[in-house]
Structure 1
Amino acid sequence: MKRILYFTGYRMVAQEWDGRKLNSSVYFEPDEQGLDLFEAYLTSLKNEPVRLLLDLIEEEFRQVVIPLLRGSDRQNIIDRNFSKFFRNSDYRYAISQKTLKKGRKEESLLLMGLTNQDLLKPWLELIDKTRTPLTGILSLPMVSEDLVSEFKSKNKCVILVSQQVPSNLRQSVFLDGKLILSRLVPIASFYQGEYTNDVIRDIEGTQRYLVSQRIIDRNDVISVQILCNERHYEKLKIKSEEDVVFDYNIQNINDFIKKQKIEVVEEQDFSSLIFCSQACRKTFPNHYARYPEKKYFYHYITSLGTKIVGIILLASSIGLLSISLAKGFLYESSVTEMMLLQQKYESKFNQLNEQKIDSDISTTNMKNVVQTVDKLKKTYLRSPREMMAMVSQDISLFNEMRVNELDWILATDVAATDADGQKVKETKPRGRKSRRNSKRKNKLYEIVTVSGNLLNFDGDYRYALSLINDVENTMTVSDKYDLVQVLKRPLNIESNESLSGDVNVKVNSKGALNKKAEFTIRVVREVNLGAK
């Protein structure tokens, strides 16, 4: 909920907005009763912040050009211009509009100020008396600057014509989207009279002033945006179509309110609600409020910040307390668990202490024995799984071969046949790699002996021998083994042996001949002692 005070120089209007929805609007007359009601209203807010929007005829605008300076030098020049144009006013404001880079660098400023500050005095005194936080005092023409972009005019100069009260017509002039002047013109024909002619005549007067001040050229087309009610819409529409000097755009106030998605209960005759909504929804710099008027707003910000910090500290404290409670609970649980574990080990220790056997072995020797056993386990205790899987994978490439037995041992000699006795069987290594590896000593080797026979053997020993040779060559070329030997072939073809083979013939019940082609292959791989 946001609250705005709208002051027209005569009466004060208090509005409450919820986003784009107007919830309430209360009017206060500038008499004793109205001021008392205004004080009661402010008291009911309970120190909620408000914003004051001014729409005064006693507000003037001046454009000046000063040297491009910074710091105190710039402020001194601005103060001198304030004294020149607004000598008796404490409510004044300067805004930079653009930098001029022709010749020496200069800055274009818009100076604005109130020429009759006594109008605000009784209302500001009540705001101060009730300690109401005042966020700022805004100028309605400066707020209307945000609406210019929504008109999407292609012309450089735009005149926005609006009427917030029946007796005054406001014309605000914008050049390149920046406010350069705004004035309230008294008009008495709102309810009766030639209202349309009065409006057009005032616009033409504004054009002549702009040309005389060399703000625009005589041939420049001016875009005129008029916000009017239903009463004068048709007449202004017809009159503007007859004029070829200005680029008119007549907009119905209520249609524009719907376009802005502003929610109101009843239709409006005046456009003040549009600017009040704009001032509530958007953030504008403070134009006129001095420190004495804003002191309670600073107190409000400090109080709000303190509350936020307090909430953060409270939430942090609760979080830290929860963490501490959780840690305490875990600590108590761990203490209980450790006490039970301590009792268990004390009982075990006492039991072993009663059964202990005296020994004359020193603790150093015992330590060395344990370390030696650990080293043996880590280095020399091998699993046959990897070697068995590797050999099985290579044998499985040949579908005609059936493995009947796999024998795995771990030995320090490449030719060993027994893991314990290290018995050496004389074998003739095949290939240069096998002869080279057979000379290695004092190393650890995995030795696998594979025994099996050929499936569906029909007596073709030439094919059987070729198959065994293929197996031997495949395993040797794979470079996974240090030595591959064929200990037994289906037919012995060694030069120093007599020709032999399993030519036993057995007759089964069906009378078929069963022949066997048995083989034995020995595979050796060096163990990497650095890996477990």
Structure 2
Amino acid sequence: MTLMFDKLILCVSHHQLIAGRWWLGQWRHHEIFPDDRLGHAAFAEFLQRYQHATVYLVIDAREEDFHIEVMPHVRWRAQQAMLQRKLDHVYRGSMFRAAYFLARERDKRRDDQFLFNALTNTGFLQPWLEIVEACQAQLIGAYTLPMLSQRLLQKCGYRSGEMLLSEQLSSGLRQSYLSQGQLRISRQLPLASEHHEELAQFHLKEIEKARLYLLSQRLIAQETPLQVLMLTSAPDAKQLAEYLRQEQGLECMVMNPSQLASCIGLACKQVQQVPELLHMHMLARGNAPDNLAPAVLTRHYKLETWRKRLMAASLVMVLLGLSLVMCYLMQIREEAHQLETVMAEVRQQEQQYGEITSHFPATPVPGADLRTAVHVHERIKQYEADPGQMLRVISQGLEGLSAIQLERVSWVMSTDQALNDTERIADQAASGTVVYNIGFVSGEVKGFAGDYRAALDTVQRFAAQLRKDIATLDVAIIEHPVNVSSYSGLNGNTMSEHAMQREKAAFKLKLVLTPESP
């Protein structure tokens, strides 16, 4: 079964496909599939065998375009939209295209330089892409081999100067021109059978052609020091490098693929026969340039990525749920232990209580009856009240009023503050309810000789003195010594003065004291 850490690196050329398997960044093995019916079937079986691995595609194409575009410097989102419009305009019919940032110009505008790269003929890719789509492989992206050559040189420390890289690959000879460590142009040259016998001379001839092309395109000047790096396993490569130094004045270095493999950490002895493994290893180690593949080719990888994210989120939720369950179980266990401890203490206290009560002397009344009696006594105390407070307030209100003669004082305790003297007093409410101390005072004004105004003033002074007491909540005159209503009619009589003196100036007050807090 394929592990999640597997990576499949595919390198497609015009005559074959090289498929390598990397696990945790280390090369495991590779297979080569020719571009025919048997090779296609074997490649489909290979993908089915590693269907859970992520796939990277390296394209070694003969027909590709490189050119530099200068774009205004704008923010990232606007820049992406502008580049997309430019790519659509320049490479209208190409699926595989990308724009690589190079540098900012040094003039006043500080515009951005981009290298536009596209595959102009992708016919050789279609059979392999159809197999990848049919197997629903998790294709992450497609990358050109020259861009990986740039990453390869940067890994080896070649980041400055003008350099011409000449690589001997399985597909032929590839020459790439780099300026300050960045790719500018690249081309692939197929190797005919007669060229294999004179490989050094073929290198020499094509290097001279490439130098003349760079001069014609004004990519370099005549006096520009051009450094040549030959990546080949040809036995006479060193003599060729010496010839270039002496005859053409070019600084030429020769590097064997095995030396470069040890530089980048690739432990594979077959790199001499398959130099593309160097580029594939760089991609497997995470040195991926910009992706050329359209979104339609990478949708299976994106779906698989979302599926893995959902699975990871579900796993996190399950782990959180299990953690909560474990916490609750531990809490329940702890509470059960505490409950058992408390129950043991209660049983011990009950046992001690039983031992103590067993030594009590015998009583004629059971304990339950005593508890009931105490409860009844406490309830009776709640209803205890006396008219002392009421009589004190009335007595203080009578001071200085000798004309007032009391005839009757009635006193009640009620929860109804608006109680009348004629109403029947209900039982008092339970403890906690506000109970008012209410008194009804009936009397007359002594020495009344028909002067109702004086009698009325006397009663009102009495009510005012009652209100001055801090214990008084409310005082109301229920009956006046004379009818003061505006609705009463006017009448008179012819009684004698002696008869008028026998009349009473009677009055009646209602006094409510401030209730005490229960």
TM-score scaled to structure 2, two decimals? Answer: 0.63
| Structure 1 residue aligned with 2:311 | 307
Q: CA deviation at 1:90?
A: 1.8
Distance 1:12 1:102, change over 3 A: same
Work out whether residues 200 and 237 of structure 2, in 8 Å CA contact, stay in contact via their aligned partners in 1.
Answer: no
Distance 1:218 1:101, change over 3 A: same
Stretch deviating more after TM superposition (146-155 or 272-281): 146-155
Structure 2 stretches lacking a partner, 5+ long: 1-5, 364-518
Q: CA deviation at 1:187?
A: 3.7
Distance (whole Å) between structure 2 residues aligned to residue 271 and residue 108 of structure 1? 31
| Structure 1 residue aligned with 2:218 | 214
Distance 1:164 1:242, change over 3 A: same
| Structure 1 residue aligned with 2:503 | none
| Structure 1 residue aligned with 2:30 | 25
Q: Report whether the alignment pairs 1:293 with 2:267.
A: no
Q: 2:56 aligns with which of 19, 33, 51?
A: 51
What does residue range 454-473 of structure 1 map to in structure 2 within 5 Å? none
Q: Report whether the alignment pairs 1:104 with 2:109.
A: yes
| Counterpart amino acid of residue 176 in structure 1 | Q
Q: CA deviation at 1:92?
A: 0.8
| Structure 2 residue aligned with 1:171 | 175
| Structure 2 residue aligned with 1:138 | 143
Q: CA deviation at 1:216?
A: 2.5
Work out whether residues 253 and 270 of structure 1, in 8 Å CA contact, stay in contact via their aligned partners in 2.
Answer: no
Distance (whole Å) between structure 1 residues aligned to residue 260 and residue 243 of structure 2? 20
Q: Report whether the alignment pairs 1:245 with 2:267.
A: no
Q: CA deviation at 1:265?
A: 4.1
What does residue range 189-228 of structure 1 map to in structure 2 within 5 Å? 192-228=196-232
Q: CA deviation at 1:16?
A: 0.9
Distance (whole Å) between structure 1 residues aligned to residue 300 and residue 342 of structure 2? 61
Q: 1:4 aligns with which of 9, 25, 30?
A: 9
Q: Report whether the alignment pairs 1:277 with 2:277.
A: no
Distance 1:229 1:223, change over 3 A: same
| Structure 2 residue aligned with 1:66 | 71
What secondary structure is seen at the aligned counterpart in 2 of 1:82?
helix
What does residue range 41-440 of structure 1 map to in structure 2 within 5 Å? 41-70=46-75, 74=79, 77-79=82-84, 81-83=86-88, 85-153=90-158, 156-165=161-170, 168-188=172-192, 192-243=196-247, 245-266=249-270, 268-352=272-356
| Counterpart amino acid of residue 340 in structure 1 | A
Distance (whole Å) between structure 1 residues aligned to residue 13 and residue 191 of structure 2? 15
Work out whether residues 159 and 180 of structure 2, in 8 Å CA contact, stay in contact via their aligned partners in 1.
Answer: no
Work out whether residues 233 and 252 of structure 1, in 8 Å CA contact, stay in contact via their aligned partners in 2.
Answer: no
| Counterpart amino acid of residue 331 in structure 1 | E
Q: CA deviation at 1:259?
A: 3.0
Q: Deviations over 1:472-491 (max 9, x none)?
A: xxxxxxxxxxxxxxxxxxxx
Q: Report whether the alignment pairs 1:39 with 2:64.
A: no
What secondary structure is seen at the aligned counterpart in 1 of 2:53?
coil
Aligned length: 357
What secondary structure is seen at the aligned counterpart in 1 of 2:235?
helix
Stretch deviating more after TM superposition (321-330 or 72-81): 72-81
Structure 1 stretches lacking a partner, 5+ long: 359-532
What secondary structure is seen at the aligned counterpart in 2 of 1:324?
helix
Work out whether residues 242 and 252 of structure 2, in 8 Å CA contact, stay in contact via their aligned partners in 1.
Answer: no
| Structure 2 residue aligned with 1:514 | none
Q: Deviations over 1:423-472 (max 9, x none)?
A: xxxxxxxxxxxxxxxxxxxxxxxxxxxxxxxxxxxxxxxxxxxxxxxxxx
Q: Deviations over 1:105-140 (max 9, x none)?
A: 311010000111222222111111111110111111
Q: CA deviation at 1:189?
A: 6.3
Distance 1:44 1:341, change over 3 A: same
Q: CA deviation at 1:243?
A: 4.1
Distance 1:307 1:291, change over 3 A: same
Q: Deviations over 1:121-170 (max 9, x none)?
A: 2211111111111011111111121222344458521122112125x211
Distance (whole Å) between structure 1 residues aligned to residue 245 and residue 289 of structure 2? 39
Q: Deviations over 1:229-275 (max 9, x none)?
A: 14343443443443452211111112222333311244613421111
| Counterpart amino acid of residue 347 in structure 2 | Q
Q: Mark the structure with the bigger radius of gyration.
A: 2
Distance (whole Å) between structure 2 residues aligned to residue 318 and residue 40 of structure 1? 41
Work out whether residues 238 and 254 of structure 2, in 8 Å CA contact, stay in contact via their aligned partners in 1.
Answer: no
Work out whether residues 100 and 290 of structure 2, in 8 Å CA contact, stay in contact via their aligned partners in 1.
Answer: no
Work out whether residues 64 and 110 of structure 1, in 8 Å CA contact, stay in contact via their aligned partners in 2.
Answer: yes
TM-score scaled to structure 1, two decimals? Answer: 0.62
Distance 1:81 1:187, change over 3 A: farther
Q: CA deviation at 1:292?
A: 1.2
Q: CA deviation at 1:286?
A: 4.5
Work out whether residues 86 and 113 of structure 1, in 8 Å CA contact, stay in contact via their aligned partners in 2.
Answer: yes
| Counterpart amino acid of residue 226 in structure 2 | I
Distance 1:201 1:80, change over 3 A: farther
Work out whether residues 228 and 270 of structure 1, in 8 Å CA contact, stay in contact via their aligned partners in 2.
Answer: no
Q: CA deviation at 1:44?
A: 1.9
Distance 1:233 1:216, change over 3 A: closer
Distance 1:126 1:158, change over 3 A: same
Distance 1:217 1:356, change over 3 A: farther
Work out whether residues 229 and 270 of structure 1, in 8 Å CA contact, stay in contact via their aligned partners in 2.
Answer: no
Work out whether residues 21 and 264 of structure 1, in 8 Å CA contact, stay in contact via their aligned partners in 2.
Answer: no
